[in-house]
Chains A and B, each alone.
Chain A
């Protein structure tokens, strides 16, 4: 199977990643079905790059991110990070991997332990990875991290509930940075924040990327935010990547009919802009029994009979622009 290759040095390569979840039912909780949450996803992320992963609820974008970190065990496929297959790691190798890859979650209210002070939340990772030999060294490092994300040193003595949503997200970022990671999976990091605060956090993520040479996998459903922050963008639909392209290219010349519809549905904050909207009919189909062939054919405005039979492969339509559609690109 073909897969996109970029000329830059890849930090992460994902190959044919799959994750099936069992659906249990009946009185004995037997496995009655399987959800194909991630259904053969391949991409890579170059060093220092931001890959945006977009799609609607249930398309598998968060599961993909978690499989890469092995917070969820993938069912099959390979995840290559700096030349090692993450899916085969265990013990010490996995622990050291956790230093290199970190995650920032969507909900800054649910992802911080409410009983720990901020100093302990950030310091915990330093202790686990033995990065702070003394109490003093640990406190110094926590203060440094708080300042890096725009918080005050005395904030380390407070509890999470004393902070606003935007500040909590900064704490989450400081916690991720504590172990000096190379890759950060940002899972909807600004979705729960108000717009004015959202802009502050996006700017912070961009500054940190520049300062520490970080690589991001940026998962979000907000296409405007993803376009702004990403170098390249991958669009997912029902567990599969349907299109990958450099950010501006994807927005200017979307090839896949789903990408096109998705982009045209984004409301533009300018009443003088009038666009033609491609209205998709119906809802996303049930991932337990996804449509045959191309998963999108049931809602696709240009579907032809064979779309229900043949699965389109992701192929390179122009340099760096990959699309999986029989009739586009």
Chain B
């Protein structure tokens, strides 16, 4: 516990809209220790991306606002920090990469310029030295011909190569935590495998922690040590990766894992996929009680009355379910 890097406690990030208050993140606890990869999984709209962006305070306010909770970065709450102090953290300590590398790179600057800008922000270097540093970063993420490619523009790179550029840029400030928001969702499987391997390699090299936001259970199983499962703005289960896949306790987690077709098992098409009936509830007026109750096979009367708290069922394995 002493080596906790990030500790999110009871975070509520809400958005004010014309229709009312959207409770996108509604009481989330999440801890990331030094050197570990933590997966945050859940489906569209479960609040995983808003949680990630809250950590860097990349939420437009208004319409968003922090309704409650703390985000402790190395023991210090960052919610009250001003823009300058936040920029220090963004420049040196926490980096983020996004799903769509094309929209997060500036199309009118060369990738070298963009990486050199980050390096110059962090170290006092001449433009030439910064550009050499940029080429070095490209070499590190296995981009062929780095000396030449620093002068290329983002559109001259393929999707996988662009994500490498994003990783190079994120790592050039040598962050302690890398937040990867669906980093491989837009990529083909063989390229996804390359990027996941690269992230692992970089993590070992720099000793950083990774917060991996994804909807792909397979990616989580292969890369994370611990996993947090979110549903409709809340954490429903948190466990070491082996426990989550070997002994999922929350009916939503169970449904998620069972609804994926598996190519490593010879069941094939005879077996029907298990599906979770219905759809995700609106976060404008979330149901009272457990938010999954309406879709849950085991739901009882008690489920609609109170919100079940996270309870520890095994060391490090916590579940928000009355069962």
Interface membership of A277, Cβ < 8 A:
yes
On chain A, the residues within 8 Å of B222 by CB distance are 267-268, 271
Q: How far is the CA of A228 from the CA of B267 in the complex (A)?
A: 8
Q: How far is the CA of A279 from the CA of B196 in the complex (A)?
A: 11
**Is the CB–CB distance between A268 and B221 below 8 Å?**
yes
Number of A residues whose C-beta is below 8 Å from B?
A: 49
**Is the CB–CB distance between B242 and A265 below 8 Å?**
no
Q: For chain B residues 197-233, which have a beta carbon within 8 Å of chain A?
A: 197, 215-222
**Is the CB–CB distance between A198 and B269 below 8 Å?**
no
Which of A231, A247, A268, A282 contacts B264, CB < 8 Å?
Answer: A268
Stretch from A21-29, A139-147, A217-225 forming part of the interface with B: A217-225
Which of A194, A195, A283 contacts B161, CB < 8 Å?
Answer: A283
Which of B44, B245, B274, B275 contacts A271, CB < 8 Å?
Answer: B245
Interface membership of B173, Cβ < 8 A:
no
**Is the CB–CB distance between A200 and B275 below 8 Å?**
yes
Q: How far is the CA of A279 from the CA of B268 in the complex (A)?
A: 26
Q: How far is the CA of A229 from the CA of B261 in the complex (A)?
A: 9
With A206-B272, A271-B245, A279-B194 in contact, do A194 and B215 touch (Cβ < 8 Å)? yes
On chain B, the residues within 8 Å of A265 by CB distance are 189-190, 192-193
Q: How would residues 178 to 213 of chain A score, 1 for a CB under 8 Å from any chain B CB and 0 otherwise?
A: 000000000000000011111110110010000000
Question: Chain B interface residue count: which class?
Answer: 35 or more
Chain A contact surface mostly: helix
Interface membership of B314, Cβ < 8 A:
no
On chain B, the residues within 8 Å of A224 by CB distance are 218, 260-263
Q: How far is the CA of A252 from the CA of B280 in the complex (A)?
A: 36
Q: How far is the CA of A183 from the CA of B11 in the complex (A)?
A: 50
On chain B, the residues within 8 Å of A268 by CB distance are 218, 221-222, 262-264
With A195-B260, A196-B255, A229-B269 in contact, do A272 and B275 touch (Cβ < 8 Å)? no
Q: For chain A residues 272-292, which have a beta carbon within 8 Å of chain B?
A: 272-273, 275, 277, 279-280, 282-284
Q: For chain A residues 229-248, which have a beta carbon within 8 Å of chain B?
A: 229-231, 247-248
Interface membership of B273, Cβ < 8 A:
yes
Residue among B160, B190, B259, B262 facing the most chain A CB atoms (10 A cut-off): B190
Q: How far is the CB of B39 from chain A (nearest CB, A)?
A: 11
Q: How would residues 169 to 196 of chain B score, 1 for a CB under 8 Å from any chain A CB and 0 otherwise?
A: 0000000000000000000111111101
Q: How far is the CA of A228 from the CA of B220 in the complex (A)?
A: 21
**Is the CB–CB distance between A248 and B272 below 8 Å?**
no
Interface membership of A119, Cβ < 8 A:
no
**Is the CB–CB distance between A267 and B221 below 8 Å?**
yes
**Is the CB–CB distance between A277 and B241 below 8 Å?**
no
List of 6 A-B pairs having minimum Cβ-Cβ separation, nearest first: A267-B218, A228-B261, A199-B275, A194-B43, A199-B259, A56-B188
A-B contact pairs, 27 of them (CB 8 A): A164-B279, A194-B215, A196-B259, A200-B275, A200-B276, A200-B277, A202-B273, A203-B273, A223-B189, A223-B263, A224-B260, A230-B269, A247-B268, A247-B269, A265-B189, A265-B192, A265-B193, A267-B219, A268-B218, A269-B217, A271-B246, A275-B264, A277-B193, A279-B193, A282-B144, A283-B160, A284-B188
